Amino acid sequence: MMYKVLRVVAIVSFVLGIFASVTGSAQGEDLDGRIRSLDEELAILKERQAELKKEATAAADSLPTFSYRPGNGVTLPRVLHEERPQYTSDAMRAKVQGTVLLECVVRPDGTVGDVQLVRSLDPTFGLDQQAIAAAKKWRFVPGTRLGEPVPVLVTIELTFTLR
């Protein structure tokens, strides 16, 4: 009788061991699958986060910036570096000459921020865009208010002349 009980216990232990190993590996497979699924979700979320960051930056850049006009205690920025605009080959062939008038915000660090086209010379041959690109490369000693650098609105006139 004792022999039969031991044999039954051994068989039950064997069956339970097999059952445990099968369910354990099934749980392991479930965990591996869940980890893969979470990794995929994380990658999607990181991608979406990068997209949202780009959208937020673009939205912030499109907001109008506050700037002072020179006068009433606001000093005019002083030019340190002036970049000349480049002629486009199409504008040269068309012999386009004249002036582009831009309003620019000189930031407190002396760089040019927002640039608005006030008077266009040429929307067709790309000279307006060349003028804007050149103006963005200008550098200034910033304007000040109460001794502190502040954003100041300035007007830049860029002339295109063929020699």
Residue 38: the pLDDT is 86
pTM of the model: 0.60
Which burial class, exposed, middle or buried, applies to 151 when counting CB atoms under 10 A from its CB (0-12, 13-18, 19+)? buried
Of 121, 123, 116, 124, residue with least CA distance to 158: 121
Residue 37: the pLDDT is 86
Q: Is CATH 3.30.2420.10 the classification given to domain 78-160?
A: yes
Chain segment 28-68, per-residue pLDDT in tens: 668 888 888 888 988 998 999 999 888 887 776 665 568 89
Residue 151: the pLDDT is 95
Res. 94: pLDDT tops 70: yes
Quick one: pLDDT band at residue 116, thresholds 50, 70, 90?
very high
Of 38, 42, 67, 30, residue with least CA distance to 151: 67
What end-to-end distance do the CA atoms of the chain give, in Å?
A: 118
Q: What percent of the chain clears pLDDT 90, i.e. is strictly above it?
A: 58
The Cα–Cα gap between 128 and 92 comes to: 14
The Cα–Cα gap between 75 and 102 comes to: 19
